C-alpha cells in the first residue's frame, strides 16, 4: 500500500461515522497523517483503550465498562426499580442523567423504527424490553423518544405492543423550550403546548 | 476510568481535527463505542497501519511511506526538475497530481502565514524552500496557494523573499471556473478574469 491508500482506508472508516461525509473524512485523514506524534497518537490511544474497556450494558444499553456489566444505572439500589425510561441511544441516557430529574431505570432501543431506512421493529431492542418487563416488575414505562415523525411513530407502536400489560405508559411533555419566546415556536409546538397546558 | 471518560478522551482527540466541533466529535465517539467490532475495529486498524507506514516526504512534504523517503515525486527522473510548485498542504499535491497538468516538483508549506491565528513566516516551511532553491537548481517557482486573502498575502510575501534570486515566479490563473456561467461568478473573480483575458 502506498501512502494515499493508507489515507483512503482511514477516510472510508471515518466516513461511516454519523454526519461525516467523504470530504470531511479526507480532511481529517490528512490532518492525522500530518501529525503522527500529536493528534494521531492521541486518537489511537483513546480508541484502543476504549476498545478494551468500554461496553454497552447488556440490560439497558448504556455506556459502561467491562468491569460493570450490568451497569450501575441497572444495579444501584438507590434507583427506582418501578419505572423504566425508553430512549433511542445511549447518549440520550447521558443527557437525561445530566438533568438529575429522573432516578429510575433505562432502556436504549439502539435505533428507531424507520421503514424509509429499512429499520423495522425487529431492528430495535424491543424484544429485550418485553423480556425486562416480564422479569423486572416495572409499573411505568416512560417513552423518551424524539419529537420527529419516526420517533413518535415508534413510541406509538411500542405503546400498542405494551397495551395488554397493566402498565402506566407516559411520554415526555411537548411544549415551548425553556428560554424561548412564544413567537419563536413553530405552529405545531405551540398547538401542543396549548393542548398540554397546566394549572398555574 | 468509567465508560463516559473513555468516550470523552475520544471526543477530545476527534475535536482537534479540522471541521469537527464538540457535538459531532461526541456523536462519532458514541457511534464507535456502540460498534466495537465494526467501525471501531476498522478505524483502529487503519490508523495503526497508517501510523506505522505513512510519512510526510522530508523534501516536498507530500504523503509517502517509510520505504520511500524522499518520495517518488521528488526522485522520479521523468519529472521536470526545473520547476517547483509551492502549495499549502499535502492534499493540494494530490489535487494537482489528479489533473495530470503538471510534471515538476512540489513543496508543501504545511500552512500559510496568518497573523490572526499567530502563524508567522517561521511557522511555514519557507526556510526549507530556500534551502531547496539553493541546491536543486529550480528555474521557476509556481505559487499554487488559495485565492483567499491570507493565501494571497503569503504568496506575495514569499515572492518578495525570492525576488533577489534569478527565478521566474508565477501563480495559478484566477478566473471563471469551468462549467460555471458569467452570472454565477462574484464580482472580484469576474474582474480578475477580465484583467487576465487571453487571445482566442
> What pLDDT, on a 0 to 100 scale, did the predictor assign at position A178?
84
Same-domain status, A40 and A118 = no
Residues with Cβ within 8 Å of B78's Cβ and at least 6 positions away in sequence, in order, are B103
Which of B7, B65, B110 minimises the CB distance to A63? Answer: B7
Same-domain status, B122 and B40 = no
Q: pLDDT digit string (tens) for A43-62?
A: 999 999 999 999 999 999 99
Residues with Cβ within 8 Å of A17's Cβ and at least 6 positions away in sequence, in order, are B27, B28, B31, B32, B39
How far is the alpha carbon of A44 from chain B, nearest alpha carbon, in Å?
A: 7
The mean pLDDT of A178-190, rounded to a whole number, is 85
Q: How confident is the model at residue A63 (pLDDT cuts 50, 70, 90)?
A: very high
> What pLDDT, on a 0 to 100 scale, did the predictor assign at position A19?
92
Same-domain status, A89 and A38 = no
Q: What CATH number corresponds to the domain at position B9?
A: 1.10.8.420
> What pLDDT, on a 0 to 100 scale, did the predictor assign at position A198?
81
**Residue B72: inside a domain, yes or no?**
no
Which of A18, A31, A110 minimises the CB distance to B17? Answer: A31
In terms of residue numbers, what domain contains B136? 78-171
Determine the Cα–Cα distance for residues A159 and A144; give it in Å rounded to an integer: 12
User: CA of A14: which chain B residue's CA is closest?
Assistant: B43
Q: Which residues of chain B have pLDDT under 70?
A: none
B95 lies within 8 A of chain A by CB = no
**Residue B188: inside a domain, yes or no?**
no
Same-domain status, B86 and B26 = no
Contact A2 B110 (CB under 8 A): no
B-chain CB neighbours of A32 within 8 Å are 17, 47, 50
Give yes or no for residue A193 having a pLDDT over 80: yes
Residue spans of alpha helices (H) in chain B:
3-15, 22-34, 41-53, 72-75, 90-99, 126-136, 149-162, 187-195
How far is the alpha carbon of B127 from chain A, nearest alpha carbon, in Å?
A: 19
C-alpha cell at B150: 491570507
Q: What CATH number corresponds to the domain at position B147?
A: 3.40.1360.10
Same-domain status, A113 and A37 = no
> What pLDDT, on a 0 to 100 scale, did the predictor assign at position A164?
94
Task: Give Rg (Cα) of chain B.
Answer: 21
Q: pLDDT digit string (tens) for A84-100?
A: 999 999 999 999 999 99
Tally of domains within chain A: 2
Contact B110 A34 (CB under 8 A): yes
Contact B2 A64 (CB under 8 A): yes
Q: What pTM was computed for the model? A: 0.81
How far is the alpha carbon of B192 from chain A, nearest alpha carbon, in Å?
A: 28
For an interface test with B, the pick among A17, A39, A66, A68 (most B C-beta atoms closer than 10 Å) comes out as A17
Same-domain status, A86 and A38 = no
**Residue A200: inside a domain, yes or no?**
no
Same-domain status, A15 and A86 = no
Mapped onto helix, strand or coil, the DSSP state of residue B106 is strand
For an interface test with A, the pick among B22, B63, B93 (most A C-beta atoms closer than 10 Å) comes out as B63
Same-domain status, B36 and B85 = no
**Residue B192: inside a domain, yes or no?**
no
Determine the Cα–Cα distance for residues A159 and A137; give it in Å rounded to an integer: 17
> What pLDDT, on a 0 to 100 scale, did the predictor assign at position B190?
87
Which of A7, A42, A62 minimises the CB distance to B63? Answer: A7
Give yes or no for residue A192 having a pLDDT over 90: no
**Residue B194: inside a domain, yes or no?**
no
Which of B4, B40, B45 minimises the CB distance to A94? Answer: B4
Q: Tell me the pLDDT of chain A averaged across its residues.
A: 93
Q: pLDDT digit string (tens) for B40-95?
A: 999 999 999 999 999 999 999 999 999 999 999 999 999 999 999 999 999 999 99
A13 lies within 8 A of chain B by CB = yes
Same-domain status, B47 and B114 = no
**Residue B106: inside a domain, yes or no?**
yes
Same-domain status, A21 and A96 = no
Same-domain status, B101 and B167 = yes
B17 lies within 8 A of chain A by CB = yes
Contact A47 B44 (CB under 8 A): yes
C-alpha cell at A126: 424491543
Give yes or no for residue A6 having a pLDDT over 90: yes
**Residue A66: inside a domain, yes or no?**
no
Q: How confident is the model at residue A153 (pLDDT cuts 50, 70, 90)?
A: very high
Same-domain status, A97 and A25 = no
Contact between B54 and B111 under an 8 Å Cβ cutoff? The reply is no
Amino acid at each position: 500500500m502506498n501512502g494515499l491508500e493508507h489515507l483512503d482506508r482511514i477516510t472510508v472508516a471515518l466516513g461511516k461515522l454519523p454526519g461525516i461525509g467523504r470530504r470531511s473524512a479526507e480532511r481529517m485523514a490528512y490532518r492525522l497523517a500530518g501529525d503522527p506524534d500529536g493528534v494521531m497518537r492521541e486518537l489511537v490511544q483513546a480508541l484502543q483503550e476504549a476498545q478494551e474497556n468500554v461496553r454497552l450494558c447488556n440490560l439497558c444499553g448504556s455506556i459502561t465498562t467491562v468491569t460493570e456489566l450490568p451497569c450501575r444505572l441497572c444495579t444501584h439500589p438507590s434507583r427506582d426499580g418501578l419505572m423504566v425510561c425508553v430512549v433511542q441511544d445511549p447518549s440520550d441516557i447521558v443527557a437525561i442523567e445530566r438533568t438529575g430529574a429522573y432516578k429510575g431505570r433505562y432502556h436504549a432501543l439502539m435505533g428507531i423504527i424507520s421503514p424509509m431506512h429499512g429499520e423495522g421493529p425487529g431492528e430495535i431492542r424491543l424484544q429485550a424490553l418485553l423480556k425486562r418487563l416480564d422479569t423486572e416488575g416495572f409499573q411505568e414505562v416512560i417513552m423518551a423518544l424524539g419529537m420527529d415523525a419516526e420517533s413518535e411513530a415508534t413510541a406509538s407502536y411500542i405503546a400498542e405492543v405494551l397495551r395488554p400489560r397493566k402498565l402506566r405508559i407516559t411520554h415526555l411533555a411537548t411544549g415551548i423550550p425553556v428560554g424561548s419566546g412564544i413567537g419563536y415556536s413553530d405552529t405545531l409546538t405551540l398547538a401542543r403546548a396549548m393542548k398540554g397546558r397546566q394549572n398555574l
